[in-house]
Structures are given as C-alpha cells and as structure tokens.
Amino acid sequence: MAISAESFAYLSKMIYENSAIVVGAGKEYLVESRLRPLVAQNKFSSIEDYVRQLKATPFSTLHKEVIEAMTTNETSFFRDIHPFEAIKEHVLPEMIKSRASTRQLNIWSGACSSGQEPYSLAIMIREHFPMLSNWKINIIATDLSEDVLNIARKGCYRPLDINRGLPAALMVKYFEKQGVEWQVKREIRGMVDFRQMNLSGHWPSLPSMDIVLMRNVLIYFDQETKRGILGKIRRVLKPDGPLFLGSAETTFNLDDSFKRVVMGKAAAYRAST
Amino acid sequence: MRALIIDDSRAIRMILGKTLRGIGFEVFEAGNGCEALERLQEIGRADLALVDWNMPEMNGYDFVCSVRSKAEHADMRVMMVTTEAEITQMIKALEAGANEYIIKPFSKEAVVEKIQILGLIP
C-alpha cells in the first residue's frame, strides 16, 4: 500500500496546517503504517482512495482521524526513568519545603497519550510521599487526541502495555484486573485531570505550574512552533519549577531564557530570571 | 553477565535468548525447574533467571522457592515470564522471592525495561 508523492505532499501539508506537526520527506513509511488501519476501518480500498476523499471534503472527522493517527505515540509507565527519579529525589523534596505554607502542587503532563506518564507520577507520589496525602495535588494531563484521552481516562491497559516499565510490586498494588485488562485503581485515576489541548493552537487557561513534563513532543514541531510553545510554558511555569523535555530534546537555540539544571541522571530546564 | 532462561517452549527460549544476547548477556537455557537447578550447579552462578510458571517436572514457582532457600543464589535476580496473570499468583511469586514479573504476551522492549528496573543494565 505505497503512497504516491502527491498524496504524501497533500497529507503532509494538511497535517501541518491543522496541527503544526512536521511530517517531512522520508516519513512516507510512517504515514503509510499509521493510515493503514484507518483505510480499513473507513472501508476505503487504498490510501489513495482515502486521500481522494479527504481532498474532496471540507475539514471533518476523517481529517481529524489522520492527525490523531499521526500523533499517537508509543509510551510506557515510568518511561525513561531518570526524570521520575529526579522528581522523586530532588524536585518533590525541595517543593515539600518551599510549598509548605500553600500545600498545593500543580503538575502538567503535556502530550500524555494514553495516560502512562500522569499515572506514573500519581503512583510515585502515592507510593513515596505519604506526607503529601493531605496536600492538594493537581496532575493535569493534556493531549491533542480525544481518542487517546478516552483510553487514558479509563486507565485500562492490555498485558502488552502493562508490562512496559511498571515494576510488578506497583502493578499489584495500584491496578486491578478487569477481564484480561488491568485498570488503574480509582484512587490513582482520581488524581489525574485529563483535558484536550492543542499545544500549537490557542491555550486554555491553566493554573500556575510547579512541574511541567513535555517529553518527546517538541520534536514533531517546526522551530517557530517550538519557540512559541516554550514561550507559553515559561509563562505558566513558576520561576523555580522545572521543565522536563525528552532526552533528545533541548531548549538550546530555541529559548535561551531556560537554563539547564542537572538533577541526578536527568536534566531539567528552569526559566532564568 | 549471565542469564538463565527457564521455559519448556523452545520458541520462547529463542526469543528471550536473542533479546538478552542483544544487551550483552551470556545466555544459558533449561526446559524446566529441575534442569535449571542442574544448570546452575554446572555454571556456578547466574545474575538473572527468567522463569516460566507452568513447566513439567518442576514448575517456576517451585524453582523460585528452591533457589531462595539457598544462600549461594541470594543475589540472583529472578523474573517470572508467564501466562499466569492473576494478581494472587503474582503476589504469591513475589512473596516467594521473585523480583519481577512479566505477563505473556510480552514485547522485547518490556523485557529490557524490566531488566533495567532490576538494575542489571543502565
């Protein structure tokens, strides 16, 4: 089911114009593999047939499905463990002291996909910080895709997903079996507020954040959009709050008002004042 | 580092063996718990054992109980790799001394991540 150059160019432009996500040359294989299930699901005979329909109709659910398919990422619990260790060993112990008077923490998991990252944070807090049990902990988790947010809200994972990155001791403590699936217990689900949000579009009002995780998402955007997003993060992040990016991402040459701070094996960014 | 893969399925041993060799382990194999204890006797020690639950002669749970009763294998990390997916079974294995648990079917990435959790690879 190879894709023609013309169809690829159309999809690349359509995805960019509606999400600012760059799908450049060489990513034909990715478009093909992500669109194949949609072609079958919508009963088209080929990708070309699908693209013809997309071109012939104004922006609709069909177009949204393509964008969502391109932005759904692989994820696992405690993915790239180092930022979680940094939050556990450095960030939260400091914040427990500095926020002792307000007893409130706002944590933002951006591009949370099917929920593994915010649930990992909630589990870590519950497991290692019993002293926070009477604090107001808001974990706000956002994603572009309503489909993945619905999966995230249910918190049900197949064995293939539950195996990924989650220590067995936490699995038996914070999950319960629902048939063959594993569901995050209600007490943990209740700690996370899932919201739809397009990072490259208009931002809804967000509380002032103590910690922001925006990992492995900037890579999808062009330089200008990355700068715009980092600028907006700077405005919602408290001055001493860390921003965690993916291990291959940086603010360097994009927004030099962020300064890199090493925390154990992880690096975070703080807006310098 | 040495890993012992204990599973009565040759196919599973092959899949796990390939993954473990890919991250630098020297791999040994056994088809059940009894064979695994013999293999440990021959090679002296292993850093990691990946153990199926349901096997002929000696099952994985009995293997875990057996090695945990011996001081010489106290440092060996043990990970169950099994279709047994009930929480009560998982707790039983962890209480007997298994360090980690993977439910079949699994991906290669999950195996590597669990070995990272065990602290055997960075």
Contacts of B85 in chain A (CB under 8 A): 159, 177, 180
Cα A157–chain centre separation: 17
Residue B68 CB partners (closer than 8 Å, separation 6+): B74, B78, B96, B97
Q: Is residue A31 part of a domain?
A: yes
pLDDT at A151 over 60: yes
Residue A189 CB partners (closer than 8 Å, separation 6+): A119, A153, A155
For A104-141, how does the pLDDT look when each residue is reduced to its tens digit (9 = 90+)?
999 999 989 899 999 999 999 999 999 999 999 999 99
Task: Kindly list the domain boundaries of chain B, sorted by start residue.
Answer: 2-117
* CATH architecture for segment(s) B2-117: 3-Layer(aba) Sandwich (3.40)
Q: Distances from the Cα of B97 to the Cαs of B4, B8, B29, B39, B57, in angstroms? A: 16, 21, 21, 20, 20
- How many angstroms separate the CA atoms of A196 and A173, rounded? 29
Q: Is the dihedral of CA B97, B102, B108, B113 positive or negative?
A: negative
A221 and A161 in a common domain: yes
Confidence band for B96, pLDDT divided at 50, 70 and 90: very high
Higher pLDDT, residue A252 or A135: A135
A150 and A36 in a common domain: no
A24 and A112 in a common domain: no
For A37-86, how does the pLDDT look when each residue is reduced to its tens digit (9 = 90+)?
888 888 899 999 999 999 999 988 889 888 888 866 667 899 888 999 99
| Interaxial angle between packed helices B60-68 and B33-43, expressed in degrees from 0 to 180 and rounded to the nearest 10 | 40
Nearest to B33 by CA among B50, B11, B13, B55: B55
Q: What is the pLDDT of residue A7?
A: 94
Q: What is the pLDDT of residue A74?
A: 65
A60 and A112 in a common domain: no
| Mean pLDDT for chain A overall | 91
| Contact assignment for A159 to B106 by CB distance below 8 Å | yes
pLDDT at A269 over 80: yes
| Contact assignment for A164 to B113 by CB distance below 8 Å | yes
The domain spanning residue A103 has which CATH number? 3.40.50.150
A36 and A138 in a common domain: no
The domain spanning residue A9 has which CATH number? 1.10.155
Of the listed ranges A97-106, A126-135, A214-223, B16-25, the least confidently predicted one is A214-223
Of the listed ranges A17-26, A97-106, A200-209, the least confidently predicted one is A17-26
A196 near A149, Cβ under 8 Å? yes
The total number of structural domains in chain A stands at 2
Q: Is residue A100 part of a domain?
A: yes
Confidence band for B25, pLDDT divided at 50, 70 and 90: very high
A42 and A121 in a common domain: no
A36 and A90 in a common domain: no
Q: What is the pLDDT of residue A79?
A: 87
Cβ count within 10 A of residue B96: 19
pLDDT at B121 over 70: yes
Q: What is the pLDDT of residue A65?
A: 86
Share of chain A above pLDDT 90, in %: 66
Q: Is A45 left (phi over 0), alpha (psi -120 to 50) or beta?
A: alpha
B34 near B80, Cβ under 8 Å? no
B44 near B74, Cβ under 8 Å? no
Distance from the B42 Cα atom to the nearest Cα atom in chain A, whole angstroms: 30
Confidence band for A22, pLDDT divided at 50, 70 and 90: confident
Q: What is the CA radius of gyration of chain B?
A: 13
Q: What is the mean pLDDT of residues B72-80?
A: 95
- Write down the H helix ranges in chain A: 5-19, 28-41, 47-56, 61-71, 82-86, 92-98, 116-128, 146-154, 159-162, 168-174, 186-189, 223-236
Q: ∠A28-A30-A31 over CA atoms, to 5°?
A: 65
| Contact assignment for A163 to B102 by CB distance below 8 Å | yes
Cα A273–chain centre separation: 27
A97 and A65 in a common domain: no
A96 and A168 in a common domain: yes
pLDDT at A1 over 60: no
- How many angstroms separate the CA atoms of A183 and A95, rounded? 30
- How many angstroms separate the CA atoms of A199 and A144, rounded? 7
Q: Is residue A76 part of a domain?
A: no
A35 and A104 in a common domain: no
- How many angstroms separate the CA atoms of B39 and A257, rounded? 59
Confidence band for B38, pLDDT divided at 50, 70 and 90: very high
Confidence band for A19, pLDDT divided at 50, 70 and 90: confident
* Residue whose entry in the numeric block shows the structure tokens 């009565």: B8
A51, A71, A91 - which closes a domain: A71
A215 and A90 in a common domain: yes
Residue B109 CB partners (closer than 8 Å, separation 6+): A76, A164
DSSP lists the bridge partners of residue B47 as none
Q: Is A39 left (phi over 0), alpha (psi -120 to 50) or beta?
A: alpha
DSSP B43: H
A173 and A89 in a common domain: yes
Instruction: List the domain range (segments joined by +) for residue A155.
Output: 82-271
Q: What is the pLDDT of residue B20?
A: 97
Q: What is the pLDDT of residue A41?
A: 83
Q: Decide if B25 touches A, using CB distance below 8 A.
A: no
Q: Is residue A94 part of a domain?
A: yes
Q: Is residue A215 part of a domain?
A: yes
Share of chain B above pLDDT 70, in %: 100
Distance from the B97 Cα atom to the nearest Cα atom in chain A, whole angstroms: 12
| Contact assignment for A164 to B116 by CB distance below 8 Å | no
Residues 72-111 of chain B whose Cβ lies under 8 A from any Cβ of chain A: 85-87, 90-91, 94, 98, 100-107, 109-110
Contacts of B109 in chain A (CB under 8 A): 76, 164
Nearest Cβ partner of A160 from B91, B100, B105? B105
A71, A94, A110 - which closes a domain: A71
